[in-house]
């Protein structure tokens, strides 16, 4: 079996976010990049499945310029078998989805896994778009996945509950919380091996871009916190009612 795992190259979760060029460009200075946190969970679970069923090849794919290669290597170090980088800036979700759908069509992959949501764009859309382009089912916010032979058993989050599904290949699953418990970290041996694993670079297919980010803003700096004495909670109630008007 073969799975295509879509990994984002995103700023570390502790990053302070800044912009340059009149707030039109993300400032990459001092930013550490990581594999998206959901994709890390996804990779971890896929490795567990691989250990269970033996026959599973995990291809990590990223749409991005050369700067994303260290991130892709991290996924290889954790345990992905090989990788593909589509050589283009990822500025638009549909553009990214088109590239990945194309790779899927040209390979003999059985299913696709993405993260539930990227932590830089926060679209929760790339996986759905890939599925739509390929005309296959999408299971969003998957909380559990098991694979045996011809079917996959998935649990997914729904609003206010959960669902269990059983489906045939192919499909797109977007990995949410619960997909795996703790992300695996690369071993020394993994890091050594990652250097030798194949990372194929391919050129993008053309795709009209239909969204753009004109300008970024940082949240307005908040007024300083108003402290209320721990002995005087009535004062907090008064403030919440009269000043903040939330109760």
Partner 1 sequence: MSVLVYTENWDGKFKKSSFELLSYANEIAKKANTELTALTIGNVSEEELKSLGKFGASKVLVIKDEKLKDFIAKTYSSAIAQVAEKLDSKIIIVANNVSGRAVAARISVKLDGSFAPGVMHLPSSIEPFVVRKKAYSGKAFSDFELTGKVTVLSLNPNSFKLIEDAKGITIEEITVEINDADLAAKPKSVEKATGKLLITEAEILVSGGRGLKGPENWGMIEELATTLGAATCCSRPVADLEWRPHEEHVGQTGKVVAPNLYIAVGISGAIQHLAGVNSSKVMVAINTDEEAPFFEAADYGIIGDAFKVVPALNEAIKKFKAHS
Ligand X SMILES: Cc1cc2nc3c(=O)[nH]c(=O)nc-3n(C[C@H](O)[C@H](O)[C@H](O)COP(=O)(O)OP(=O)(O)OC[C@H]3O[C@@H](n4cnc5c(N)ncnc54)[C@H](O)[C@@H]3O)c2cc1C
Residues that bind ligand AMP (CB under 6 A): 6-8, 36, 38-39, 61-64, 90, 93, 96, 114-115, 117-118, 121-127
The answer to whether residue 233 forms part of the interface with ligand X (CB under 6 A) is no
* Residues 42, 139: Cα–Cα separation, whole Å: 14
Q: Which residues pair with 142 in a beta bridge?
A: 156, 175
Residue with tokens 């071993």: 187
Closer CB to ligand AMP, 44 or 62, in the complex? 62
Phi, psi of 82 (to 5 degrees): -150, 175
3-state class (DSSP) for residue 39: helix
Binding partner 1 (rule: CB under 8 A), the pick from 2, 11, 48, 57 is 11
Q: Is 222 in the site for partner 1 (CB under 8 A)?
A: yes
Strand-strand pairing, 25-26 and 33-35? unpaired
| 150 contributes a contact to partner 1 by CB under 8 A | no
**Sole binder of ligand X in the list 13, 24, 28, 151 (CB under 6 A):** 13
Residue of 6, 7, 8, 37 interacting with ligand X (CB under 6 A): 37
| Closer Cβ to partner 1, 81 or 132, answer by number | 132
CB 66 within 8 A of CB 148: no
The residue within the footprint of partner 1, chosen from 21, 55, 166, 203 (CB under 8 A), is: 166
- The single residue listed with the structure tokens 């599925």 is 131
- How many CA atoms does the CB half-sphere of 215 hold within 13 Å? 4
The minimum distance between CB 200 and partner 1, in angstroms, equals 26
CA 89 to chain centre: 16
| Interacting residues with partner 1 between 69 and 98 (CB under 8 A) | 93-94, 97
Footprint of ligand X on this chain (CB under 6 A)? 13, 37
């Amino acid at each position: 079996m073969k799975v295509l795992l879509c990994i984002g190259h995103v700023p570390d979760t502790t990053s302070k976010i800044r912009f340059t060029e009149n707030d039109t460009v993300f400032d990459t200075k001092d930013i550490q990049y990581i594999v998206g946190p959901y994709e890390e969970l996804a990779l971890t679970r896929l490795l567990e499945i691989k250990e269970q069923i033996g026959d599973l090849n995990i291809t990590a794919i990223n749409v991005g310029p050369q700067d994303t290669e260290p991130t892709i290597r991290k996924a290889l170090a954790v345990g992905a078998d090989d990788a593909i980088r589509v050589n283009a800036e990822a500025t638009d979700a549909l553009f990214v989805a088109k590239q990945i759908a194309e790779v899927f069509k040209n390979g003999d992959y059985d299913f696709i896994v993405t993260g539930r949501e990227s932590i830089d764009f926060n679209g929760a859309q790339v996986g759905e778009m890939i599925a739509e382009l390929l005309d296959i089912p999408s299971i969003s916010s998957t909380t559990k996945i098991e694979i045996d032979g011809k079917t996959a058993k998935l649990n997914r989050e729904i609003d206010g509950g959960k669902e269990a599904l059983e489906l045939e290949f192919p499909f797109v699953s977007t990995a949410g919380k619960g997909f795996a418990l703790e992300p695996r970290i690369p071993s020394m041996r993994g890091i050594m091996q990652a250097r030798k694993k194949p990372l194929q670079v391919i050129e993008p297919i053309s795709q009209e871009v239909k969204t753009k980010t004109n300008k970024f803003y940082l949240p307005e700096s908040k007024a300083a916190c108003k402290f209320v004495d721990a002995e005087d909670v009535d004062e907090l109630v008064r403030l919440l009612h009269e000043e903040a008007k939330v109760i």
